[in-house]
Amino acid sequence: MPNMTENTPDRARTRFPGISSRAYEHPADRSALVALRSLSGFDVVLRKLSGLFNERAFRLHFLAGSVRAGEGQFRHLYDMTRDACYILDLAEVPEVYVKQDPTPNAMALGSDRPFIVVNTGLLDLLDEEELRAVIGHEVGHILSGHAVYQTMMQILLSLGARLAWLPLGNIAIGGIIIGLKEWFRKAELSADRAGLLAGQDLEASKRVLMKLAGGTRLHEMSTEAFLEQAREYDAAGDVRDGLLKFLNLLPQSHPEVVVRFAEIDRWAREGDYQRILAGEYPRRAEDGEASVTDEMRNAAQAYKESWERTADPFIGKVRGAADAAADVAAGIFDRVNRRRDGGTTTAN
């Protein structure tokens, strides 16, 4: 993996020296990451397990059957990745592989030496600025360390399949997996924000999501109409429709595309994006001082605010119970931390 050198983007973009991934992470994602990082040695073990087996096999697979971007192949992707790493201050530029696959998709794999895979279907779908947002999205996953913790879910998925014949064991693993998938859906919202920070083109970030929903015919689409579609989805139908939306979402690793569109629009409008552009963001050097309890409370507050914003009738019915559960969970977590640390909890 080459060391990152300063590489000025093709147009003026703000760079974020020392930026912590906490700056752009969704509160639910951030609280989980801070909590896991506080478990001394946990992420190290996962990194080693992933690096010894899955990561080596994956890298060899793509090295053998895909095209690695660089000075002589897919130069624009290589430069784009260097730009994103420069802007988000990621010390090492990950390898990028182009895979022949018509499905428009990209992913970040590995934890010891993370790398990015971009399908040809995505290259055919997106223009340069849209692709820049996607590369920034994947670099955001790497900066947050999502791949390390995704390893845990893959292990649990494998374990759940092996325990399918044990009803109680499978139910227990299934409950954990549901929680992890909710976390990773929030991680996708975090990465969307990282993509916007890397590209600094809100309309391009929005176009990516519109094209994922409707293809290349942008002349047939409208950002205003698509946002209205997101509002309609949020408020659709009665309690039965709300329950169906919830059940449809459970097996998915990504939020619905209209939800992602509305979230990136809201995040850009409500001030956090502009504050980061102005240099007001947490630094990586301060990550060790991040409070697990504070982040848990921030996550609970973020869920409450989203419940208050939504017009979904199903959420309206369960909002009171969910608020109470969040308060209880925060209180329990606070008491556990006080007993363990004498009142102070920090992430290592």
Span 161-179, average pLDDT: 60
Average pLDDT of the chain is 77
Tracing tokens 């010894």 back to the chain, one arrives at 52
Query: DSSP assignment of 286-347, as one string?
Result: GGGG--HHHHHHHHHHHHHHHHHH---HHHHHHHHHHHHHHHHHHHHHHHHHHHHHTT----
* 88: amino acid identity, one letter: L
Span 97-121, average pLDDT: 92
pLDDT at 286 over 50: yes
Question: What residues contact residue 27 under an 8 Å CB cut-off, 6+ apart?
Answer: 295, 298, 299, 301, 302
SS3 for 92?
strand
Residues annotated as catalytic (active site), given as ranges: 138
* 295: amino acid identity, one letter: E
Residue ranges per domain, the chain?
21-341
Give the pLDDT confidence score for residue 216 in this predicted structure.
93
Structure-block tokens of residue 255: 């939020």
Cα 289 to Cα 282: distance, rounded to the nearest angstrom: 11
Sorting pLDDT into bands at 50, 70 and 90, what band is 11? Answer: low
Question: What residues contact residue 135 under an 8 Å CB cut-off, 6+ apart?
Answer: 77, 80, 81, 84, 96, 106, 116, 118, 195, 198
Cα 273 to Cα 269: distance, rounded to the nearest angstrom: 8
Give the pLDDT confidence score for residue 171 in this predicted structure.
59
Span 161-182, average pLDDT: 62
Burial of residue 52 (CB within 10 Å: 0-12, 13-18, 19+) is exposed
Other C-beta atoms lying within 10 Å of the C-beta of residue 175: 10
Sorting pLDDT into bands at 50, 70 and 90, what band is 209? Answer: very high
Looking at 9-23, 141-155, 207-221, 248-262, which range is the least confident one? 141-155
**Predicted model pTM:** 0.76
The beta strand positions in the chain, using DSSP E, are 67-68, 95-99, 106-109, 115-119
pLDDT at 348 over 50: no
The torsion angles phi and psi of 106, rounded to 5 degrees, stand at: -145, 155
